[in-house]
A = this chain, B = another copy of it.
Amino acid sequence: MKRIELDAGKLLERVRQNKPVVHHLTNWVTIYDCANIIKALGGSPVMAHAKEEVAEMAGIASSLVLNIGTLTVDFVEAMKIAAKSANKKGIPVLLDVCGAGATGLRDDKCFELLDEARIDIIKGNSSEIARVAGEKVRTKGVDASSLNLNLQKIARDLSSKRKCTVVITGETDIVADEKRLYLVKNGDKMLSSVVGTGCMVSSVIGVFAAVERDLLYSAAAGLVCFEVAAECAAKESVGPASFKERLFDFIFRIDKQTVNRMQKIEG
């Protein structure tokens, strides 16, 4: 594979200019960070989950991010209403299959969401995506297990089956649709010592998807921007909390040139 041309920095500038509204139905653990990363990027986060208003929120949003991290049955029903409304409006819908493989409820609800609405981007770590793709894996919590799986094939097959973009995060991130596949090799190991960096990635991809409808391209660009900021932050940190502070500061102020100079992407 060769180094591909991706102007991630240009998309970052478009996010900052357009300030898209991103509607979330997400988990109660990282909801603040998901909102705040959108804000740091210059976007406008909306978190709303009442079934009476989620459809209407689509009217002011440019993308929708769903995350089942602390799902309940009722909450997923609200997600379905929101997703169908987003489908009707034609804005992209991302589903973070957080914790898929940990319980039957999570698996069932992922499949229901994928069956009942059009999901444009499915995002998870290796074991979560493998489970959603039909593999018999068991997630230990929400962290990835070491699996001896052909992840690129799983991503491509799932993309083909569900007609969507698939993002598998890990040391090397995989972004795939039916025909194309990118590998993003940015990032820092400190990301795995902070809760919610996976959820933040979903929000970042959500806000990039709001400004660029080639979703493979916008997902890859979002990953690159987030992970380049993480690399910059790691250099100035002594632990996960100082790292997280600097990560948000870099997300806010990193420039187009730095992003494009540091990006490590193959496809």
A residues lining the B interface (CB < 8 Å): 21, 27-33, 35-36, 39-40, 44-50, 52-53, 56-57, 60, 69-73, 99, 102-106, 138-143, 193-196, 237-242, 244-253
- Give every chain B residue within 8 A of A241 (Cβ-Cβ): 40, 244-249, 252
A242-B238 contact in complex given A44-B141, A45-B195, A140-B60, C-beta closer than 8 Å: no
**What is the interface of chain A mostly: helix, strand, loop, or mixed?**
mixed
Q: Name A42's closest neighbour in chain B (CB-CB).
A: B193
- Give every chain B residue within 8 A of A141 (Cβ-Cβ): 21, 44-46, 60
Q: Name A24's closest neighbour in chain B (CB-CB).
A: B29
Q: Which 5 A-B pairs have the closest CB atoms?
A: A239-B249, A241-B248, A53-B103, A53-B105, A239-B252
State how many angstroms separate the Cβ of A120 from the closest Cβ of chain B. Answer: 21
What are 10 A-B pairs with beta-carbon distances under 8 A?
A: A36-B240, A39-B240, A40-B240, A48-B99, A48-B103, A52-B73, A56-B104, A239-B252, A240-B249, A241-B248
| A142 contact from B46, B105, B245, B249, Cβ within 8 A | B46
Given contacts A50-B73, A238-B249, A238-B253, 11 further A-B contacts (CB under 8 A): A28-B28, A28-B31, A35-B195, A40-B239, A49-B72, A52-B103, A60-B139, A239-B252, A241-B246, A241-B247, A241-B252
- Give every chain B residue within 8 A of A251 (Cβ-Cβ): 239
**Complex contact B32–A47 (CB within 8 A):** no
| A193 contact from B40, B60, B106, B143, Cβ within 8 A | B40
